[in-house]
């Protein structure tokens, strides 16, 4: 006899239910007792159940198939009328479905979905468990329809629904957000590792080709994963976190899974939080310039913009001070506007300095992630073309994975790219070749460790070989001695910066230094 049971009185109110039935409803026995069908189920579902109760009372029993618990899953419901006790017994079991039925029954992320998700999060908090939300996008699904037609697109979508549905547990939810995006709700998850494991399993299921017109079509799939209550407190925050993680995967234009990282993908702040952060504004923020000297010319050929907070440079290990300031998308945009406004005058002055190639500006990941970054940048760089051509944007190598498309957009706008951070991530030769950065930079820790660490020397040689193969200039940061300068020059480094070449310069001193070098 099925163990998923519920007892309903003659007034269509729940009396009690088995533990498995209660788990599917995410309610306790006390919370269910005396609740009317319309208080528990959707209006459509409650109305159909009411009809089946009437039929069962007339004939002794009835049977139907309903999306009783989740919008995406059908259940076979057998209802028995127990006349002596004047109540109904409903026995529930999962209903087998075709792929077309699964596609038709996919839920939508409606207010009801969010309300149910909030209930699951509340339950998870009480039980010390997690609810995971997977935001899954089938990239370029629209291209399938454009290339093969609507029927082919429907075939692919049906196969996707079949593979996803067959991979989920009873009680998990599959919802379709739009043409290419699905949301998968995993209830009663232990931790992030378990959620990511499910995401990878779904990715593997979708990896195998789909037969289409005598050929195998391989899909690119991006999955963002977020958990509540560990990473979000309610349905709104959870869906937003999963979406941000999805966007992080999509920027790489490759299939993959990404777990939401609050440190890099920040949740929106309340106005009160924002006002507190805005109190100091940027009154303690200023900028200086660190010269970059050419190995052959022995002159300043470029400069690095150095943010200063309370007269402390925000570079290297001290960059965290700047990251703490950029704690919301709004503050990232304000910082970008503040920095670009501060750069306009020196860039205009530097257009008259022959032999000076430009100013390198480091862009942290949190600014790249800020909404409308490109539009905001475009709005604040309405400068003469000569001034814009002097601006280089420096990003870490690892960001190529996430922001490759955005970096191409920057180059299309006329800005030049410098790649740094090779000790943490080494892009492929093909990735660097396609991006065509203006320079590759050896970070300070590589320079400091190249004499004492064989692994660092080997990495440095790999980077210099890559730069030489692609004919990209190589620059080095953190040069502190003549010995380091000589060794780097022998490696083919063409530009260097660091304490060996002097301290930080103000805008006026930078221009003065350039003039003095020409005398």
Q: Structurally, how many domains does the chain consist of?
A: 3
**Of 203, 193, 182, the residue nearest 136 (C-alpha):** 182
Q: Does residue 418 contact residue 467 with C-beta atoms inside 8 Å?
A: no
Containing 75, the helix (H) or strand (E) segment is: strand 75-82
CA distance 519 to 502: 19
Q: Does residue 360 contact residue 477 with C-beta atoms inside 8 Å?
A: no
**Of 167, 398, 121, 136, the residue nearest 242 (C-alpha):** 136
Containing 305, the helix (H) or strand (E) segment is: strand 300-309
Task: Give the pLDDT of residue 442.
Answer: 93
| CATH number of 88's domain | 3.30.450.20
Containing 271, the helix (H) or strand (E) segment is: helix 271-278
Task: Give the pLDDT of residue 321.
Answer: 61
Which of 65, 94, 123 is the last residue in one of the domains?
Answer: 94
Which of 229, 259, 289 is the last residue in one of the domains?
Answer: 259
CA 493 from centre of chain? 35
CA distance 71 to 486: 69
Q: In what order do the strands lie in the sheet with 61-66?
A: 14-17, 5-9, 87-94, 75-82, 61-66
Which sign does the torsion angle of CA 342, 343, 344, 349 carry?
positive
Task: Give the pLDDT of residue 266.
Answer: 46
Residue 248 domain flag: yes
Query: Do residues 211 and 156 both lie within one domain?
Result: yes
Query: Do residues 144 and 214 both lie within one domain?
Result: yes
Which of 205, 235, 259 is the last residue in one of the domains?
Answer: 259
Structure tokens at 499: 């304490």
CA distance 389 to 497: 21
Domain that holds residue 89: 5-94
Q: Does residue 505 contact residue 288 with C-beta atoms inside 8 Å?
A: yes
Hey, how many other C-beta atoms are within 10 angstroms of the C-beta on 20?
15
Query: Do residues 88 and 104 both lie within one domain?
Result: no
Residue 423 domain flag: yes
Hey, how many other C-beta atoms are within 10 angstroms of the C-beta on 38?
15
Query: Do residues 357 and 320 both lie within one domain?
Result: yes
| CATH number of 495's domain | 3.20.20.450
Query: Do residues 86 and 183 both lie within one domain?
Result: no
Residue 454 domain flag: yes
Task: Give the pLDDT of residue 209.
Answer: 77
Query: Do residues 76 and 114 both lie within one domain?
Result: no
Query: Do residues 42 and 139 both lie within one domain?
Result: no
| Side-chain-side CA neighbours of residue 267 (13 Å) | 17
Please list the residues that pair with 358 across neighbouring strands.
302
CA distance 223 to 476: 37
Query: Do residues 13 and 134 both lie within one domain?
Result: no
Residue 37 domain flag: yes
| CATH number of 207's domain | 3.30.70.270
Query: Do residues 14 and 140 both lie within one domain?
Result: no
CA distance 266 to 94: 39
Q: Which residue, chain included where needed, has tokens 């043409």? A: 179
Q: Which residue, chain included where needed, has tokens 């109904």? A: 88
Query: Do residues 59 and 126 both lie within one domain?
Result: no
Residue 350 domain flag: yes
Residue 483 domain flag: yes
Alpha helices by DSSP H, listed for 167-270, are: 192-207, 235-250
Residue 90 domain flag: yes
Cis before 229? omega within 30:
yes
Query: Do residues 381 and 327 both lie within one domain?
Result: yes
Task: Give the pLDDT of residue 105.
Answer: 41
Query: Do residues 46 and 105 both lie within one domain?
Result: no
Residue 265 domain flag: no
Task: Give the pLDDT of residue 383.
Answer: 85
Task: Give the pLDDT of residue 76.
Answer: 82
pLDDT in single tens digits along all 519 residues of the chain? 345 788 999 999 999 888 778 877 877 888 888 999 988 887 778 888 888 899 899 888 888 888 787 655 677 888 989 887 889 989 887 765 443 444 444 444 444 567 778 888 988 898 889 999 999 988 777 777 777 777 787 788 888 888 888 888 877 888 877 667 888 999 889 999 999 999 988 988 887 778 776 777 778 889 999 999 999 888 888 888 888 888 888 876 678 899 987 755 543 334 333 333 334 456 678 889 999 999 988 899 999 999 887 667 776 544 556 666 676 677 788 888 888 888 988 898 898 888 899 999 999 888 887 777 888 888 888 888 888 889 999 998 888 877 888 888 888 888 899 999 888 788 888 889 988 999 999 998 889 888 888 888 888 888 999 999 999 999 999 999 888 999 999 989 999 999 888 888 988 888 888 877 775
């Amino acid at each position: 006899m099925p163990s998923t049971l519920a007892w309903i009185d003659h007034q269509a109110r729940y009396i009690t239910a088995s533990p498995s039935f209660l788990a599917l409803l995410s309610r306790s026995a006390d919370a269910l007792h005396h609740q009317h069908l319309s208080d528990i189920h959707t209006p459509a579902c409650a109305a159909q159940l009411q009809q089946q109760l009437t039929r069962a009372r007339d004939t002794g029993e009835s049977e139907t198939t309903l999306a009783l618990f989740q919008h995406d899953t059908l259940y076979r419901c057998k209802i028995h009328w127990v006349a002596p006790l004047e109540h109904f017994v409903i026995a529930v079991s999962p209903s087998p479905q075709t792929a077309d039925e699964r596609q038709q029954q996919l839920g939508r992320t409606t207010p009801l979905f969010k309300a149910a998700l909030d209930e699951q999060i509340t339950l998870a908090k009480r039980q010390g468990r997690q609810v995971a939300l997977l935001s899954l996008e089938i990239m370029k699904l629209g291209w399938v329809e454009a290339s093969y037609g609507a029927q082919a697109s429907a075939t692919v979508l049906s196969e996707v629904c079949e593979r996803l549905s067959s991979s989920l547990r009873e009680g998990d939810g599959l919802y379709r957000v739009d043409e290419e995006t699905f949301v998968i709700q995993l209830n009663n998850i232990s931790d992030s590792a378990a959620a990511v494991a499910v995401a990878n399993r779904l990715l593997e299921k979708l990896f195998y080709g789909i037969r289409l017109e005598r050929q195998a079509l391989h899909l690119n799939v991006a999955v963002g994963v977020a958990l509540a209550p560990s990473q979000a407190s309610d349905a709104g925050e959870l869906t937003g976190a999963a979406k941000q993680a999805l966007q992080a995967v999509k920027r790489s234009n490759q299939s993959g899974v990404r777990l939401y990282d609050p440190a890099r993908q920040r949740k929106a702040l309340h106005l009160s939080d924002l006002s507190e952060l805005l109190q100091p504004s940027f009154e303690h923020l200023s900028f200086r310039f660190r010269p970059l000297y050419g190995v052959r010319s022995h002159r300043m050929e470029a400069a690095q913009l150095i943010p200063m907070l309370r007269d402390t440079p925000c570079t290297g290990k001290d960059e965290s001070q700047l990251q703490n300031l950029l704690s919301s998308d709004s503050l990232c945009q304000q910082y970008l506007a503040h920095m670009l406004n501060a750069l306009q005058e020196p860039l205009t002055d530097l257009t008259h300095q022959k032999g000076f190639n430009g100013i390198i500006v480091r862009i942290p990941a949190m600014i790249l992630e800020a909404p409308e970054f490109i539009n905001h940048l475009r709005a604040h760089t309405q400068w003469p073309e000569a001034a814009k051509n002097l601006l280089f944007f420096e990003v870490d190598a690892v960001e190529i994975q996430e922001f490759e498309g955005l970096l191409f957009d920057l180059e299309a706008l006329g800005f030049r790219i410098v790649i740094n951070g090779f000790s943490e991530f080494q892009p492929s030769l093909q990735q660097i070749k396609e991006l065509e950065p203006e320079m590759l930079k050896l970070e300070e820790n590589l320079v400091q460790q190249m004499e004492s660490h064989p692994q660092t020397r080997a990495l440095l040689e790999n980077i210099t070989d890559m730069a030489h193969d692609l004919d990209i200039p190589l620059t080095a940061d953190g040069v502190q001695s003549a010995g380091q300068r000589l060794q780097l020059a022998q490696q083919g480094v063409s530009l260097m910066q660091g304490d060996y070449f002097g301290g930080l310069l103000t805008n006026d001193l930078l221009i003065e230094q350039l003039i003095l070098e020409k005398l």
